[in-house]
Amino acid sequence: MGASGSKARGLWPFTSATGGGGSEAAGAEQALVRPRGRAVPPFVFTRRGSMFYDEDGDLAHEFYEETIVTKNGQKRAKLRRVHKNLIPQGIVKLDPPRIHVDFPVILYEM
């Protein structure tokens, strides 16, 4: 099993610091793609929030306002989605941390 193209072209952040356990060729290949500096942990501790705050301070994925429409002399209420004056939630801390999607691990459950 050789290295995939994505690992061979660029830096792979999840290489081990020791590089042991494989053949000499695999160790040499890992030595070439090992990043300089600190190692990257396999966990994700924060993510970008997907919700928004409105001007009242309410937090939700979507906001709607009720509008009254008169058609043929009859009043009908319609919901119109609000796109303006919404503030993104920002960075959300994950509890517990998640495993990074690019971390090469197989999860097994019996």
Max mean pLDDT range (15-19, 27-31, 54-58): 54-58
DSSP string, the chain: ----HHHHHS--TT--SS--SS-HHHHHHHHHHPPSSSPPPSEEEEEE---EE-TT--EES--EEEEEEEETTEEEEEEEE--SS-EE--EEEEEEEEE-TTS-------
Summarised one tens digit per residue, pLDDT across range 55-73 is 999 999 999 999 999 989 8
Is the pLDDT at 100 greater than 60? The verdict is: yes
